[in-house]
Structure 1
Amino acid sequence: MSTNPGTLPPDLAELVDDFSAVGPKDRLQLLLELSQELPDLPERYADAADSMEQVHECQSPLFLKVEVGPDEERPVHLFFSAPREAPTTRGFASIMYTGLDGEPAETVLAVPDDFYTDLGLAEAVSPLRLRGISAMLARIKNQVRAATA
């Protein structure tokens, strides 16, 4: 494992462990299962194209929005819009949601930019698709920085 597990929030570290514990074919299956767990958008983001940021690096249309709570912990809440017929993209979004939603802003910003390499998906999906998950994390961090500046 290249990432220091101490730098990952517990839910994200658990996902990394789950992925690294299985072979490449099972990793793809795990990603597809996660894609089905991505929550629907709240009504206020019904028009994703107008109210959310598009991640152009993703091969399928993916939009995201980050909200940071006002209290001391500054909890981060993530919202994603990705088509159901794009399970890889939805799976990546679900990893971000499961691993980072509700975590303090400081914790989200501390996630290593390349944490996704520890998921072992390089053997299961194309480098172009991996660029999508990298871009998602970068945009999440940018929105967190903007909200906490």
Structure 2
Amino acid sequence: MSSEQTTDAPVEPSAESAQAAIAEEFGYLGDWTERYQYLIDLGRKLPAFPDEARTEENKVNGCQSQVWLLGRGDADRLDFTAISDSSIVSGLIALLLRVYSGRSAREILDTEPRFVEAIGLSKHLSPTRSNGLAAMLATIKRRAAELAG
């Protein structure tokens, strides 16, 4: 692992508690202007992504913007880092990493992204961003499935 990547424990003890915390945080925000700004702010806080990992192999296909996602670990703990050239997509990445990074492959596979509906993202994302979110989630789940056996 590169020194730029973190192996810190997730903020919440489980993927489900992370989803509940995200829903609660978004519940405090009024309109979608505030929610988009919060997403942008979250994206700005993503950890550095190593330049050498910006490869075709780590690129997420199906996203309109450029997205690179790297998963490292084993079946007991899978850590993800990712980056995008889009500020809104970077915020979506931050949410996905909060829910799925640092979890076991089994927990990742068993956790559906309920926060997307809970915070209203499904109604407020453009079709291309929705497709990109689905592609990022599919990449995370595929990596977990490879490790889960």
TM score, norm. by length of structure 1: 0.77
Q: Secondary structure of 1:66's match?
A: strand
Provide the identity percentage: 23
CA displacement at 1:114 relative to structure 2: 5.5
Q: Distance in 1 between matches of 2:57 and 2:81?
A: 11
Q: Secondary structure of 2:55's match?
A: helix
Q: Distance in 2 between matches of 1:8 and 1:97?
A: 10
Aligned to 1:81: 83
**Contact residue 35 and residue 87 of structure 1 kept, 8 A:** yes
Going from structure 1 to structure 2, the CA distance change for 1:46 and 1:9 (only over 3 Å counts) comes to: farther
Q: Distance in 1 between matches of 2:68 and 2:124?
A: 23
CA displacement at 1:17 relative to structure 2: 2.4
TM score, norm. by length of structure 2: 0.77
> Structure 1: which 4+ aligned runs deviate by more than 4 Å?
none
Tell me which of 64, 73, 85 is aligned to 2:69. Answer: 64
Going from structure 1 to structure 2, the CA distance change for 1:102 and 1:115 (only over 3 Å counts) comes to: same
Gaps (5+ residues) in structure 2?
1-13
CA-atom RMSD, angstroms?
A: 2.2
Higher RCO, Cα 8 Å, sep 6+:
1
**Contact residue 24 and residue 123 of structure 1 kept, 8 A:** no
Aligned to 1:41: 49
Gaps (5+ residues) in structure 1?
1-6
CA displacement at 1:115 relative to structure 2: 4.2
May I ask how many residue pairs the two structures share in their alignment? Answer: 135
Give the letter for the 1:35 counterpart: G
Going from structure 1 to structure 2, the CA distance change for 1:123 and 1:28 (only over 3 Å counts) comes to: farther
